[in-house]
Amino acid sequence: MTKFNELNLNPKVLKAIEEAGYETPTPIQEGAIPAALEGRDVLGIAQTGTGKTASFTLPMITLLARGRARARMPRSLVLCPTRELAAQVAENFDTYAKHLKLTKALLIGGVSFKEQDALIDRGVDVLIATPGRLLDHFERGKLLLTGVQIMVVDEADRMLDMGFIPDIERIFSLTPFTRQTLFFSATMAPEIERITDTFLSAPTRVEVARQATASETIEQGVVMFKGGRRDREASQKRKTLRALIDAEGEKCTNAIIFCNRKTDVDICTKSLKKYGYNAAAIHGDLDQSQRMKTLDGFRDGSLRLLVASDVAARGLDIPSVSHVFNFDVPGHAEDYVHRIGRTGRAGREGKAITICSGRDEKALAAIESLIQKDIPRIDNPVKADEPKPDAPKPEKKAKAPDSKKGESRKEREPKTRGRGRRDDGGPAVVGMGDHLPSFIALSFDERRAG
C-alpha cells in the first residue's frame, strides 16, 4: 500500500499531513498527485467524499514552494462553484501549507471588495474563488490572470448545473496557454467533456469509481409518502420527517436534511425548532457570516440537524455525518449522489433516507437508473389516517295513517288560512273551481265599454 512519503511531496507538506493524522492516500490522491507533480494536466473523476481536494492542494503546495508572488498576479487559481466549498479549500491550504510561507486570497461573495483588493495587491500564491466574484475583480481592473501557472476547476459538474460554464470558458481564455490544468468532477456530462477536450492537453485520466456511484458504506432507503388532503400534505410530510429522525434514535448523532427549495428549508427548520429539535438552516439567501457560523456549529457538534438546499450538497467535508435525509427527491439524479455523499465518508458507515411523494416517482426512477440499483423501500413510521366508516342512517319511524306525508293534496285537512285554503272544514279550493266571475268572460272591448 502506497504511503504519502512515497509520492515525492515536499518534506514540509509531509510534516503537515502527518500532523493532520493521515498516512495513506486515497485512490484518487494516489493517481492524481504523481501526475500533477510531473506538471501534467489531470482529469479526475471520483465520487464525492474520496479526497479530491487533497488531490490538488498537496501537489500545488509542493510546486509553489519555490517562487515568489507578484502584486495582482496570482501564481495559481482554484475555481469552486460555491462559497462554502471555496472556504473549505482555503482551510485545506491552511492545514497543509502551514510550514511554508505561501500566501492565499479567498474571493467569494458576501465579503467586501476592499478587503479582497488589499490581499491581491500584496500578491498571492494561491487564489481561491467563485467564478462570478473573480470576474468582478478582473473587470474592475484589480486582477491579472496572466501569471497563473496552475489552474484547478473543482466540482465541474456542479459548475455546469449552476450555469457557470460560460464563465469558466472565459476565465480559461484569460490564463496562459502554458498553464497546468487540474480538472475534477464526480460526473462527466457532454458539456464538461467538450471543455476538457478544448482546454486540457493530453490529461492523465484518473477514475477511481464508476461515474455517479454512491459509496457502498451508505445504507439507503426510501419512504413512499402518500399525503392526505392537499392543504395538509406538507405538514404530514414534516411529521414523517420527524418520525424518521426519532426512529433512528441515538444512531442519528447528526444529520443533513436536504430540501429542493429555499422556502422549504426555512419552513422545515422552523417546524423542527417548534418541536424541540436542534436545527438550523443554510442556503444561498443567507448572509455569508451566518452560513459559516452555522457550518462551524455543525462541525463542532453544537448543532445536530443542518437543513440545507443543494448549496451544501457538494464538497463540504464534514467527516462524521451519521445521516442524510432527503426531505425532497432531487430534480437531478446526480444531485442525489452528491447529497448522500455527505455521509459515509472516508470509509465510515452512513445512512441516507429519502421521502418520495407521488409526484416525485419519476425522479426516483431516474436516480435508481443512474446508480444502477433499486433503493430499498421502508415503511412510513407515521400511520396513515384511516377513513372513518360511514355513520349508520337512522331507521325511519312508521308514520301514522293520518300523517300529511303520503296523502294527496285533496285529502289534506286545511289548518290555516292562506291561498287555496278554507277554514270551514271543507276541501281545499283548487284554482277557481266552477265559480268563474262573469266579468272575466267579457272581452276587453266589452269591459272597456261597460
Residues 6 or more apart from 24 whose CB is under 8 A from it? 1, 2, 3, 4
The string over 435-448, giving b where at least 16 C-beta atoms fall within 10 Å of a residue's C-beta and e elsewhere, is eeeeeeeeeeeeee
268 contacts 238 by C-beta, under 8 angstroms: yes
pLDDT at 418: 47
Give me the pLDDT at residue 279, please.
97
What is the percent of the chain where pLDDT is above 70?
A: 81
Query: The C-alpha cell of 145 is what?
Result: 490572470
Q: What is the pLDDT of residue 450?
A: 55
Half-sphere exposure of 13 toward its Cβ, with a 13 Å CA cutoff? 23
> Which ranges of 38-164 would DSSP assign to H, the alpha helix?
52-64, 83-96, 113-122, 131-139, 156-161
- The candidate with the shortest Cα–Cα distance to 352, out of 387, 372, 324, 394, is 324
Domains of the chain (ranges, CATH numbers): 4-207 (3.40.50.300), 218-371 (3.40.50.300)
How many helices (DSSP H) and strands (DSSP E) are in the chain? Answer: 16, 13
For residue 361, give Cα distances in angstroms to 55, 220, 223, 329.
37, 16, 11, 9
What per-residue confidence (pLDDT) applies to 35?
A: 96
With a CB cutoff of 8 Å and minimum separation 6, the contacts of 435 are none
The predicted structure's pLDDT at residue 446: 56
- Which pLDDT belongs to residue 444? 55
β-pair partners for 353: 221, 325
The pLDDT tens digits of the residues spanning 94-138 come to 999 999 999 999 999 878 888 899 989 999 999 999 999 999 999
The pLDDT value given to residue 295: 87
Q: d(Cα 256, Cα 133) in Å, to the nearest integer?
A: 28
Kindly give the pairing relationship between strand 255-258 and strand 279-282: unpaired
Cell reading at 218: 451508505
pLDDT reported for residue 216: 83
pTM above 0.75, yes or no: no
What residues of the chain score a pLDDT lower than 70? 1, 47-49, 209-213, 311-317, 384-450
- In the three-class reduction of DSSP (H, G, I as helix; E, B as strand; rest coil), residue 182 is classed as strand
What are 122's three cell numbers?
A: 500584496
Rounded to 10 degrees, the C-alpha dihedral 365/366/372/376 comes to: -30
The whole-number pLDDT of residue 214 equals: 75
Query: For residue 387, what pLDDT is reported?
Result: 45
Cα separation of the two ends of the chain = 130
